[in-house]
Amino acid sequence: MSGNTDLLFQASCLRQKAFAWFTDVTLVSDPDVLAEYESLLDDQEKRRHAAFHFPADRHLYLVAHALLRTSLSRFSDIQPCKWRISSNKSGRPEVAAEQCPEDRIRFNLSHTKGLAACVVTANVDIGIDVERLDRRCDMESIARRYFSRQEMQALMALPVHDRPTRFLEYWTLKEAYVKACGLGLSIPLDSFFFYRDRQMVWRIGFDRDDDPSEWRFVCVRPTPDHVLSIAIHDADPSEYEVNISEAWAGRLTHAWKS
Ligand SMILES: CC(C)(COP(=O)(O)OP(=O)(O)OC[C@H]1O[C@@H](n2cnc3c(N)ncnc32)[C@H](O)[C@@H]1OP(=O)(O)O)[C@@H](O)C(=O)NCCC(=O)NCCS
């Protein structure tokens, strides 16, 4: 049996820890590698993969899901193709409970042009979002529509050239939170807001029923062109350790195979 020799963890290693991997999906084009990644997908993923109209979207989906499955297998002897993933009642994809009877492996996935990222932990709600910095959009009108008053004020107080980065920091933090909650856009995006405290740590405030002290956020630039945010919901989030690494798109299965 193949096992992850160099990166073998147990699901218990994920207690109060999250591991995120991001990968530049443009760095893989070898047909053999892509065929191997396709063989990791389950039937539903294969159908979704085949249904994409544009080759770039199909490629992004394939590499993102190969990243997810190989990342999950770093924490278990379950092979990447064997993970049973289905959407819960709110539409969030989850690992079947019977595949991790003790520490429940939890994950979230995000993809944007050129980059895929996933985060894996155990037991707690977690969300991840990545976006490209060169994304063309009418930043100000989107911010007016979706951001809270506090975020809008802080954004507009910045020098003009700093606004696009801050806009995407807010955006990815909001998405990561909404994805961790698993409720999608049923949560009004202006019912919570982000700010940085004196130690420059990202914090959340709520107009909705939630407790800021139970949330931990990380917002980084994994590449010069991207912003990546992670949201973790835990009773004692200050103890949470978050590791973020790059995975090579052409060698995703190497992390798992011996
Ligand atoms: C899922 C959702 C929450 C995020 O989607 P997105 O940012 O477009 O896409 P991402 O690449 O970050 O995430 C997609 C992945 O999230 C996961 N996902 C799907 N539904 C989810 C849910 N309800 N909760 C958490 N994760 C979910 C899936 O793994 C999906 O990947 P897949 O389709 O390849 O399986 C989306 O439905 C949504 O509601 N987006 C909000 C868009 C918006 O207006 N944001 C404004 C921010 S200010």
pLDDT, tens digit, for every residue of 119-131? 999 999 999 999 9
What is 198-231 written as a DSSP string? TT--EEEEESSS--GGGEEEEEE-SSTTEEEEEE
Sheet holding 17-24, edge to edge: 105-112, 115-122, 17-24, 241-246
Question: Does any ligand 1 atom lie closer than 6 A to the CB of residue 171?
Answer: yes
Atom of ligand 1 nearest to the CA of 90: 23
**Which tens digit of pLDDT belongs to each residue from 186-198?**
888 888 999 999 9
Asked whether 179 lines ligand 1 (CB < 6 A), one says yes
Q: What homologous superfamily does CATH list for 16-24+90-249? A: 4'-phosphopantetheinyl transferase domain (3.90.470.20)
Q: Which tokens belong to 201?
A: 């740590």
Helix or strand run (H / E) with residue 196: strand 192-196
Average pLDDT, the chain: 91
pLDDT tens digits, 20-62:
999 999 999 999 999 999 999 999 999 999 999 999 999 999 9
Are the C-beta atoms of residues 244 and 219 closer than 8 Å to each other?
A: no
Q: Place 3 in a pLDDT band, splitting at 50, 70 and 90.
A: very low
Instruction: Quickly tell me which residue has 């945010």 as its tokens.
Output: 229
Q: Of all atoms in ligand 1, which is nearest to the CA of residue 182?
A: 24
C-alpha–C-alpha distance, residues 88 and 107, integer Å: 13
DSSP 113-152: TTEEEEEEEESS-EEEEEEETT--S-HHHHHHHHS-HHHH
Q: How confident is the model at residue 136 (pLDDT cuts 50, 70, 90)?
A: confident
Supply the residue whose CA is at minimum distance from atom 23 of ligand 1: 92
Token pair listed for 88:
């819960």
- Ligand 1 atom with the shortest distance to the CA of 183: 23
For residue 256, the model assigns a pLDDT of: 67
Alpha helix segments (H runs only) across the chain: 31-38, 43-51, 55-72, 139-146, 149-156, 163-181
- Measured from the CB, is residue 61 less than 6 Å from ligand 1? yes
Ligand 1: residue of 179, 186, 226 to mutate (most ligand atoms within 8 A of CB) is 179
